[in-house]
Amino acid sequence: MKNNIKKMGLLIGFFVLGLHYLQAQSVYKLADSKNIAMKLSGTSTLHKWDMNASIFSGRASFDFKPGSTKELASLKSLTFLLAVANLSSGEKGLDKNAYKALKSKQFKNIAYKLTSATVSPEGGDRYLLKTHGELTIAGVTKEIMMDVHCVVNSDGNITCTGTETLNMTDYQVKPPTFMLGAMKTGDAITLDFTMVYKKQVTG
């Protein structure tokens, strides 16, 4: 009888812990917002250049401390997917050569997948995430470490911002040239992003 009571107590304990875990963990999806943006920028022999995108997809799973919707505890997963063809500099020639260099016909997307992250409070509703993840460009995947700053907004959405410098040749991308070779781009490019993740309603 006593053993049955102990077993029942353990089962109830596991159930309560599991319930707390489910309540604390929340799934988010990239929101359709004017505040979402991603930019690739670099240099060339003539001038600096930028390519911007505002349409991409992604999901994330954030954990909060039990009983709280504001105190971020951990980041379990995060992904984003960007169509190369959505990147635009406003210059058709530059875009065309960039798409070719990024092998967009064969590899249509730039993708990121988180592998691990640590969360540190920065004060208020702000947090620093030190992340490890896999970035895939032109079909080549590399592990990158990146600092991401997150804000838990009053509406429950989470805004993530970050910047990372990459070398195109690391992804087997040949820096494109323009104007019959008169304009040559540098190898290094900088990725800047602002992403707003919106909490999903679960049934």
- Looking at residue 48, its pLDDT comes to 84
Domains and CATH numbers, the chain: 26-199 (2.40.128.110)
Q: Say if CB 169 and CB 194 are below 8 A apart.
A: no
The pLDDT assigned to 12 comes to 37
What is the distance between the alpha carbons of residues 186 and 184, in angstroms, rounded to a whole number?
7
pLDDT along the chain (203 residues), means of 10: 47 38 67 79 80 87 88 92 91 86 93 95 94 96 96 92 93 76 78 90 56
Phi/psi at 68 (5° precision): -125, 145
What's residue 178's pLDDT?
Answer: 63
The end-to-end CA distance of the chain, in Å, is: 38
CA 35/CA 171 separation, integer angstroms: 29
Let me know how long the chain is: 203
Residues forming a β-bridge with 146: 131
Question: What count of other Cβ atoms lies within 10 Å of the Cβ of residue 46?
Answer: 12
Q: Is the pTM of this model over 0.75?
A: yes
